[in-house]
Amino acid sequence: MNTRFQDGGPERITLAMTGASGAQYGLRLLDCLVREDREVHFLISKAAQLVMATETDVSLPAKPQLMQAFLTEYTGAAAGQIRVYGKEDWMSPVASGSGAPAAMVVVPCSTGTLSAIATGACNNLIERAADVTLKERRQLILVPRETPYSSIHLEHMLKLSNMGVTILPASPGFYHQPQTIDDLIDFVVARILNLLGIPQDMLPRWGEHHLSSDE
């Protein structure tokens, strides 16, 4: 099992996209991981593909092999750097603790997927991969994009947080004075990269460019 970390975060990452709004976050994170030379194990639900086609100009092929080729060209990744698996590919590395990457991010994370992960459901490969990440005590980051949250959503978030999962809502800040939608997307993606320990230059850390009171 390869769970080695580079000086700047894990070498291999599972990236899953589910059917909440915010496909731009997942695509941008994928692009950043490729640029940082990470191996990405990519999972996407059918609902996420529909949302992506609605929210962006990206329309993914349905078959995993074609999707892998498309995303490799789209991001400029090296051959084999992005690996795409179907929803019932139970023989994929992410389905087992002996082969899964050291970290997993679900972005965007639908409240349905949040519920499934919190209750241990493994009805598809995304849910199984998250279950593996939990049982192996590896890093799991969930990025919900929903508003408002119901008590059910909050209870599931608390349960997962108590298990060590990071809940990172897609709630961009404004202290960096964003000028475009891309700036807002980058805020959230930069926070994900910071948690993974992967270098990023999209967002300065708080205080890095703050002027002192006598300047």
Residue partners of 167: CB distance under 8 A and separation at least 6: 142, 144, 157, 160, 161
User: Has 22 been labeled as part of a binding site?
Assistant: no
Four-point Cα dihedral 117, 35, 58, 68, nearest 10? -70
152's CB contacts (< 8 A; 6+ apart) are 111, 115
**Is 110 annotated as belonging to a binding site?**
yes
Whether residue 138 is annotated as binding a ligand: the answer is no
> Is 35 a known ligand-binding residue?
no
Do the annotations mark residue 115 as ligand-binding? no
End-to-end CA distance of the chain: 52
Q: Can you read off the two tokens belonging to residue 203?
A: 């967002």
Dist. CA 204–CA 54, nearest whole Å: 31
CB–CB of 20/146 below 8 Å?
Answer: yes
Q: Any binding-site annotation on 47? A: no
Any binding-site annotation on 166?
A: no
The residue with tokens 């092929």 is: 61
45 labelled binding-site residue: yes
For residue 112, say whether it is annotated as part of any ligand binding site: yes
CA 145 vs CA 35, 171, 184: distances in Å: 25, 8, 13
Q: Which residues are annotated as a binding site for FMN?
A: 19-21, 45, 110-113, 122, 145
Q: Which residues are annotated as a binding site?
A: 19-21, 45, 110-113, 122, 145, 175, 191
Q: Which residues are annotated as a binding site for dimethylallyl phosphate?
A: 175, 191
